[in-house]
Amino acid sequence: MFDTPVLSLDGIVDSLPAAEKARFERIYALTATVGELRVPETMQPWVEQQFGSLDAVTRQKIVRVTNKLTGEETLFSKLRASRPQDTGTVDVELAYSDATDFFSRPYDSTPEDVFGRVVGKHCVTASNVAKFDSFHGLLVFNDFNPLDFTRAQIIDYIDVAREWALKAHQTQPEAKYFALIWNCLWRAGASIGHGHAHVMLTGGRHYARIERLRRAAVSYRQDNGGNYFDDLFRCHQAVGCALKRDGVGIMAYLTPFKDKEVIIMADELSQSFKEKVYEVLACFRDKLGVASFNLGLVTPPLAPTEESWQDFPVMVRVVDRGNPHHRASDVGGMEVYAASVVSSDPIEITGELAKWLPEEVDNG
């Protein structure tokens, strides 16, 4: 049987102290099953070459984790990372994007918002020509290649996005719900190769998945008298999927949408938070080999609201979208209609993050 730490999650949870196990089970439901099959002799050489052994295939352990409050669910199947993949011609596509790069001339080739542009050291805003909300802008990066980011660039992108949101809010005070989305390269949904991110400010209520998360936190406090996000972090920490650096919580998420999803949380949009966003992205790129990702940043509303946002943190979620060379999408019918299927291991990812991010030094 193909083994990996997350496939032992059921045993890890069973061995937790009673209070920690009870907290985990308030948020998560967990089941483990084994799928069995027979491999015909004619297929055995290919199976051994592709998956390492017959035993890895004939008995496959699957761990299913469900967040009972948010409805998120993931099926962990390590073997699926070894499936055969077809590949494409990435270099040709990048060259074509570079030759038709409207974003290289943002002041001439992109519209601006009604309140003008926000200009940073490493990016400038534009108004999206094909909007999906009334305030929907772009951060156009100065550098073409979105993977050539530096610490200063990531911090600047976040700062410029925040300033854009405040200007949009001043223009229309009832718009107060902010989000930033970065689709890095076509594999993650980007239609233009030049580095850019989306910024949105909406009114009435936040976008549905964020609103669902807010409601889950409110319900958890009402039922259990505690902070959902604090307890979520403690659950991850208890099973080896979380660490804290400079007051910022970092979790390799137990119900990821797709592979290597990490959540970064803090009480405010601080310098330390922005630094940790860069460091996690650098680990993705330089250590974990991630070449395409989706990143989402959400903050509490910019102004008071009727509904409660108590406990809600500043949050970034970032998820690997797979090898840009692969033709097959990483998202299929299971993710669209049922639950996510993931081959990466959050316990192993946390181990890599812990080695990459320096430990806090106690000077006291």
Q: Please report, for the chain, the start and end positions of each structural domain, with discontinuous segments joined by +.
A: 5-84+207-356, 90-203
Record the tokens describing residue 204, joined without a space.
Answer: 């009435």
Confidence of residue 241 (pLDDT cuts 50, 70, 90): very high
pLDDT recorded at residue 95: 56
pLDDT recorded at residue 90: 45
Q: Residue 76 pairs with which residues in a beta bridge? A: 63, 342
Question: Using CA atoms, how far apart are residues 211 and 25, in angstroms rounded to an integer?
Answer: 23
- φ/ψ of 119, rounded to 5, equals -110, 120
Question: Using CA atoms, how far apart are residues 117 and 107, in angstroms rounded to an integer?
Answer: 9
pLDDT recorded at residue 80: 65
Confidence of residue 81 (pLDDT cuts 50, 70, 90): low
Helix (H, G, I), strand (E, B) or coil at 347: helix
How would you classify residue 279: left for phi > 0, otherwise alpha for psi between -120 and 50, otherwise beta? Answer: alpha
**Amino acid in position 223:** D
Note the pTM of the prediction, 2 decimals: 0.93
Q: Which of 49-53, 226-230, 303-307, 343-347 has the lowest mean pLDDT?
A: 49-53
pLDDT recorded at residue 87: 46
Separation of CA 264 from chain center: 9
- Judged against a pLDDT cut of 80, whether residue 219 lies above it is answered with yes
Q: What is the mean pLDDT of residues 101-118?
A: 94
pLDDT recorded at residue 47: 85
Per DSSP, the residues of 165-225 read HHHHHHHSTTEEEEEEEEEESGGGT-SSSS-EEEEEEEESS--HHHHHHHHHHHHHHHHHS
pLDDT recorded at residue 70: 98
pLDDT recorded at residue 1: 45
pLDDT recorded at residue 56: 85
Task: Enumerate helices (H) and strands (E) in the chain, giving the number of each.
Answer: 12, 13
Q: Do strands 73-76 and 123-127 pair parallel, antiparallel, or not at all (unpaired)?
A: unpaired
The chain-wide mean pLDDT, for the chain, equals 92
Q: What is the pLDDT of residues 153-202, one digit of tens each?
A: 999 999 999 999 999 999 999 999 999 999 999 999 999 989 999 999 99
The correct CATH number of 5-84+207-356 out of 3.30.428.10, 3.90.1640.10, 3.40.50.150, 3.30.2320.50 is: 3.30.428.10
Q: Which CATH architecture has domain 90-203?
A: 2-Layer Sandwich (3.30)
Question: To which residue do tokens 């099973």 refer?
Answer: 239
pLDDT recorded at residue 100: 73
pLDDT recorded at residue 64: 98
Q: What is the pLDDT of residues 264-282, one digit of tens each?
A: 999 999 999 999 999 999 9
- Judged against a pLDDT cut of 50, whether residue 96 lies above it is answered with no
Question: Using CA atoms, how far apart are residues 200 and 127, in angstroms rounded to an integer?
Answer: 10
pLDDT recorded at residue 364: 38
